[in-house]
Structures are given as structure tokens and as C-alpha cells.
Amino acid sequence: MAFAGEAEARHWLEGREVPIEALDYGAEGVILTVGWPQGEAVDITPLSARLKGEVRLLDHS
């Protein structure tokens, strides 16, 4: 995601008690690695809407 969306994403994840395990910064933005709770569907639609589509889900399972 773009750097501008990082704080909003952190706030959204914290509100859902989803821990951020790592942050990786690069020229194009930031990648947040999170520990999504097992048994819960991964739905980032509300976050994507808040960030105007600037968030993508990368599955590294």
C-alpha cells in the first residue's frame, strides 16, 4: 500500500485485534505482514474501501 495509508491500516487492524508481525518498506510503499486469526475469513474489503483500493492482499500461506 502507499505510505499514506499505513497509519489507517494499522488502526483498522488494531481495532480487529489482528497483530502486525512485520513491516517492509520499499520504493513503492509498505507491506504489512499480519497474523490473521485462524478460523476467521480474511475480508479486507472495508479497509480497501477506506483506502480507496490502495490495499492488496498477498497470500503467503
Q: Are 41 and 57 in contact (CB under 8 A)?
A: no
Residue 1 confidence (pLDDT): 82
Beta-bridged to residue 30, according to DSSP, are 25
Residue 61 confidence (pLDDT): 60
pTM: 0.81
Residue 58 confidence (pLDDT): 77
Residue 53 confidence (pLDDT): 81
Q: What pLDDT, in 10s, does the model give residues 1-59? A: 888 899 999 999 999 999 999 999 999 899 999 998 888 888 889 999 999 888 888 77
CA angle 61/8/56 to nearest 5° reads: 35
- SS3 assignment for the chain: CCHHHHHHHHHHHHHCCCCEEEEEEECCEEEEEECCCCCCCCCCHHHHHHCCCCCCCCCCC
Q: How far is CA 28 from the centre of its chain?
A: 15
